[in-house]
Structure 1
């Protein structure tokens, strides 16, 4: 087992360690519901963290400007600086601002605390994702109300046309410099009868009709 992850108890998800690449930690935090960074207000914060993961690489540290982070996150530079400052105050990163040397601007240095993010990820996993739990409960209710037991369509065997014989050559082969007229193929999924609508299809339509509206 990798030293980056550790299974704390049987059946639980692998514990995220600070030695894991920054992208792995951010992906795990996102799947856990983003912990304290969930909600509309922290949308820019989540985008900036993902931008830092893409710009800084697995180590989570390197020279980068606020403008580069803003471009990668899709937010204005002013708003990006504000969010970087919030993350710095929260202890998620350290930011050594750039300056001017020999009349030229220099990039700053940002180091994301993978230890802090790994801790937030593990805590979010233990608490559970409230939205995911609510969705699971609502889905279970709809399935129970519709009386569904199985909705996946069984795999069909491929339809094999007539075998080629001397008396009945393939229409795709040339004969005497020309092409044989194509023979109609019967008993296929195209020309055959349409399958009857069964109880499972009706139950699936009932499930879709009772689906809860998506919140705005």
Structure 2
């Protein structure tokens, strides 16, 4: 595109924060976190990759999230009972496993999974890492597979700082019962999209895209249409 001087849009992935505050509906947050992290076997650019949970509810959230994650069925992708299918390629699975192992060596706690599944298919167990800090691999890098990282935030301000401490900026989620607080936090997040009490989605009615190393430009909505339009100015002198 550069060589031909053509306009382009780049969507380059992300490490999306999923913030849960003390006043959140925990059951709703857990349900959304499981879908947001494990849909398509975790291979979604705008997935809930970093679960940033306020300290007052991190223990309760972790217990509920772990229970729900254990219930996910791994198997043949054409079966209606399957939720976790194979990953796209063997090398991607190996890379993901390396990131998990590096994070554990850095001091994280393995609560679930953490292994490649032997046999045919690129299967990786649904994995939950706890006690993840901002210095660890799963915090700093994008984990493109069925691996969730749980990070504890001291308070809402700390949660925002953790969310923004990333080279990516695609989307983010906030769970709270306080709409005004959610809007105030959304204004501080360095992402292309913010979803309140919901996991990240793409919808043709609204723009989708990121900032930082998540790329530039927007897909969908009238913003996406105009990305590839060249505006022509016609000036008529009325004198």
User: Given the two structures, how large is their TM-score scaled by the length of structure 2?
Assistant: 0.26
- The higher relative CO (CA closer than 8 Å, separation ≥ 6) is in 2
User: Given the two structures, how large is their TM-score scaled by the length of structure 1?
Assistant: 0.28
